[in-house]
Amino acid sequence: MQAFAIAAAGIADAASRFAASAERTARAPLDDLAGETVERMGAEVALKANVAVLKTADEMTGTLLDILA
């Protein structure tokens, strides 16, 4: 199902954004601390949104299978 692939790609992208921001902060903690904090918060929100899409798609698939059974 396409929703699963899209949500999985979104999760991977959010995790990558978070990791890259954390790495930049570790290298130079005082360069752009506020900006990097905002970036990590955005990545967290994106991750949660994609997990919600994944859960909803799973529930819809389960409901569809129940109807067809």
Map residue 30 onto helix, strand or coil.
Answer: coil
In angstroms, the CA 32 to CA 24 distance is 9
- Amino acid 45: pLDDT: 97
CA–CA distances in Å: residue 31 to residues 6, 23, 26, 39: 34, 12, 10, 14
- Amino acid 24: pLDDT: 94
Give the tens place of pLDDT for each residue, 26-62.
999 889 999 999 999 999 999 999 999 999 999 998 9
CB atoms within 10 A of CB 60: 12
Under a CB-based contact definition with an 8 Å cutoff, are residues 13 and 42 in contact? no
Phi, psi for 31 (deg, rounded to 5): -65, -60
More confident residue, 7 or 30: 7
pTM exceeds 0.85 for this model: no
